[in-house]
Amino acid sequence: MLEAIDVSLVNWSRAQFALTAMYHWIFVPLTLGISFIVAFMETIYVKTGNPEWKKITKFWMTLFGINFAIGVATGIILEFEFGTNWSNYSWFVGDIFGAPLAIEGILAFFMESTFIAIMFFGWKKVSKKVHLAATWLTAIGANLSALWILVANAWMQSPVGMQFNPETARNEMVSFWEVLFSPMAVEKFLHTTSSGFVLAAIFVIGISAWFILKKREIVFARKSIAVAAVFGFLSSIYVIFTGDSSARTIATHQPMKFAAFEGLYNGSERAGLIALGIMSTTDTDESNQNLMDFNMKLEIPNILSYMAYMDWNAFVPGINDLIDGNEKYGIMSAHEKIERGKTAILKLKEFKEAKEAGNTELAESIKAEFQTKDFQENYFKYFGYGYITDPHVLIPSVPLSFYSFHIMVFLGMYFILFFFLSFLFVIRGKLEKHRKFLKLAIWTIPLAYIASQCGWIVAEVGRQPWVIQDLMPTMAAVTKISTSAVQVTFWLFAAIFTVLLIAEVKIMMRQIKIGPKVKEEGGHN
Amino acid sequence: MSRPNLLVRTGRFYVEGFRNMSGWGKQVWIVILVKLFIMFFILKLFFFPNFLKTNFDTDEQRSEHVLDNLTNTK
């Protein structure tokens, strides 16, 4: 283990990053989805020439604008934190992160600032078709910005396309395309953006339901719900497919995360999926406080094996298999991985000492060894394990992962039904009669945010203790600064972001109350 | 009269857009400017210095520092 690392420093640094990321993620998914909804609405306007659709487009565009403006650049604080609180990590990955984040910055700045300006200022300045193109390009630009951030995050979950250079202590990119098109990156992008579409569709339906309950703007609300329900239904079906393929990738690249969010302690062939479960609060293993059993569980046989490996009979490793190892199924124990990780760290230390002693020949031979396939696959692959002393540290919070995953999945299923009913009621013209459903639609808005946040909890808590899967645990990534400094910035952020959120909600609520009869901007007809 | 060049037209487009901005647009711009000020002139300068850039002059020194940290195990 690293010498003199304060656990509370690691925990506060993690809490600070989690807080910033979670607040940032309040703003992002709505932007990703509502930009496309607005584009669909404007397309209908351009196709039909019906001014009602223009009014609808402009109203939702306003809410998009408020959300975008309040949320824009909040993610930059995460980059500040990399440099201040996670300096070892940001140096270790610098080259890999540099390219996607630079592309994101350029895309975000040029595409979004240009096309958003046309969206808001250009109603009377450019032709209908050019304006529509700007709206579509804004939506595409916003989602492309998300792509690069998600590619960077996916690399942390499944590092590929790089070569570690002991000379610089950095991972250097050897294949940009491998980083960009890794299964983890592709699935993360598709799953995350489509979940944003679902959230935005729920937002549009919920706000429209409020108008109907207030007996205001009925035609506007019905049309908005029709577009959002179709978009939301298709997106939520797509979310299931992308979630399913993500689960398979996780089962292969992050089996511990997979076992944690499924609450699978002991692996088995024909493993069952726990559809519903309440975890016991009594620890069953005193040596590991995290291990708990279920008080109640509803298990569907064989499904987990199929979900993980597309084979009803496949063996799915559990937490205990991943810690203790399982020779029969070729699963290496945590102890073995720790030993290999220590060997890799020792080799790095030898390199450093050889360099300091001026022994260029030895330093060069160790550097060459780092580049061999054998060393990479058998030792460097487990580099991060070398910092672990207690294998149980490798188990993430199972209850948090399990409940977050199941809440996300259940809400996802509910959203499909919700979109279906929304569409059914709107095409039958019976929406106004279902007042309970309309109230439910309003309350579904926070549920969409909960599902979205749960998704990130599964992704990030489930991969603990890793900052970079298998290569760098949080304790090796953190900067040795004072814990109190991190605590101060944690509370500072909590205050600033809460004020921002309140500002957004207040400005948005005011615009919603004004309704779609908002004064035309830029003298638009 | 000849048509102004693209740069001038783009400039006018933005100027007129900002001039005719609605109430919510102005409010949002105030929030954006305050937010950016807090982020870049307060948080970045006083609370979030880049640790490696602030404490070391060259990339070589930064590498050595990280190598020290990564190999400083029991």
- Is the pLDDT at A436 greater than 60? The verdict is yes
- Residue numbers in B near A73 (CB within 8 A): 35-36, 39
- The pLDDT averaged over each successive group of 10 residues in chain B (74 residues) is 80 86 85 87 85 91 92 79
Identity of the residue in B27, B51, B72 whose CB atom sits nearest the CB atom of A2? B72
Could you give the angle at the alpha carbon of B28 between the alpha carbons of B25 and B33, nearest 5°?
Answer: 125
Say if B29 is an interface residue toward chain A (CB within 8 Å): yes
In the numeric block, which tokens belong to residue A371? 């580049």
The minimum CA-CA distance between B18 and chain A, rounded to whole Å, is 8
DSSP string computed for B18-69? HHT--HHHHHHHHHHHHHHHIIIIIIIIII---HHHHH-SSHHHHHHHHHHH
Question: Which stretches within A254-333 are classed as H helix?
Answer: 255-262, 303-309, 319-324
pLDDT of residue B10: 83
For the ranges A172-186, A219-233, A268-282, A375-389, the lowest mean pLDDT is seen at A268-282
The secondary structure of residue A112, as a DSSP letter, is I
Given this model, what pLDDT does residue A280 score?
80
Cα-based distances in Å from A307 to A108, A249, A301, A400, B14: 36, 10, 11, 21, 52
CA end-to-end span of chain B: 79
Q: In this complex, is the C-beta atom of B34 within 8 Å of any C-beta atom belonging to chain A?
A: no
List, in order, residues 6 or more apart from A33 with CB less than 8 Å away.
A196, A197, A198, A199, A200, A201, A203, A231, A235
CB atoms within 10 A of CB A412: 19
How far apart are alpha carbons A230 and A381 in whole angstroms?
45
The burial of A134, by beta-carbon neighbours within 10 Å (0-12 exposed, 13-18 middle, 19 or more buried), is given as buried
Highest mean pLDDT among A37-41, A93-97, A289-293: A37-41
Q: Give yes or no for A476 touching B (CB within 8 A).
A: yes
Residue A368: exposed, middle, or buried by beta-carbon count in 10 A (0-12, 13-18, 19+)?
A: exposed
Does the beta carbon of A488 lie under 8 angstroms from any beta carbon of chain B?
yes
Is the CB of residue A395 less than 8 Å from the CB of residue A319? Answer: yes
Supply A340's token pair.
């290999």
Residues of chain A neighbouring B43 (CB-CB closer than 8 A): 77, 80, 489, 492
Backbone angles phi, psi at A371, to 5 degrees: -90, -5
- Which token pair is A420? 């279906």
The sign of the CA dihedral A59, A62, A68, A71 is negative
Q: Going along A241-382, which residue ranges are E strands?
A: 268-269, 273-283, 292-300, 315-316
Integer Cα distance of A240 and A234 in angstroms:
10
pLDDT of residue A17: 93
Burial B50-65 (b: 16+ CB within 10 A, else e): ebbeeeeeeeeebbbb
pTM: 0.91
Widest distance between CA atoms in chain A = 83
DSSP secondary structure letters along A162-224: EEEETTTTEEEES-HHHHHT-HHHHHHHHHHHHHHHHHHHHHHHHHHHHHHHTT--HHHHHHH
Nearest by Cα to A331 from A346, A348, A315, A354:
A315
Q: Strands A472-473 and A292-300: what pairing?
A: unpaired
Angle between helices A255-262 and A398-427 (to 10 degrees): 70
Statement: residue A430 has pLDDT above 70: yes
A509 and chain B: CB distance < 8 Å anywhere? no
Residue type, A476: A
pLDDT one-digit tens code per residue, A121-130: 888 888 999 9
Q: Mind telling me how many Å the CA of B40 is from chain A's nearest CA?
A: 9
Q: What is the pLDDT of residue A72?
A: 77
Cβ-based contacts of B19 with chain A (< 8 Å) = none
B4 to chain A, any CB pair closer than 8 A? The answer is: no
- pLDDT band with cut points at 50, 70 and 90 for residue A521: very low
pLDDT beyond 50 at A523? no
Q: What angle do CA A297, A303, A304 make, to 5 degrees?
A: 80
Task: Using the predicted structure, report yes or no on whether residue A292 has a pLDDT greater than 70.
Answer: no
Q: Domain map of chain A by residue range?
A: 7-258+392-514
Cβ within 8 Å of residue B26, ≥6 positions away: none
pLDDT bracket for residue A361 (50, 70, 90): very high
DSSP string for residues in A378-435: HTGGGGGGGG-SSGGGGS--HHHHHHHHHHHHHHHHHHHHHHHHHHHHHHTT-GGG-H
pLDDT for position A6: 75
Contact state of B48 with A84 under an 8 Å Cβ cutoff: yes
How many Cβ pairs within 8 Å bridge chains A and B?
A: 132
Measured CA to CA, the distance from residue A162 to residue A347 in angstroms comes to 19
How many whole angstroms separate alpha carbon A232 and alpha carbon A419?
A: 6
Per CB-CB distance under 8 Å, the chain B contacts of A65 are: 24-25, 28
Could you give the CA distance from residue B31 to residue A69 in angstroms, rounded to a whole number? 8
Q: What is the mean pLDDT of residues A368-373?
A: 92
| Rounded average pLDDT over A448-462 | 96
Is B74 in Cβ contact with A83 (below 8 Å)? no
Calculate ∠ Cα A199-A205-A206, nearest 5°.
85
Q: Is some CB atom of chain A closer than 8 A to the CB atom of B57?
A: no
- DSSP-derived 3-state class of residue A277: strand
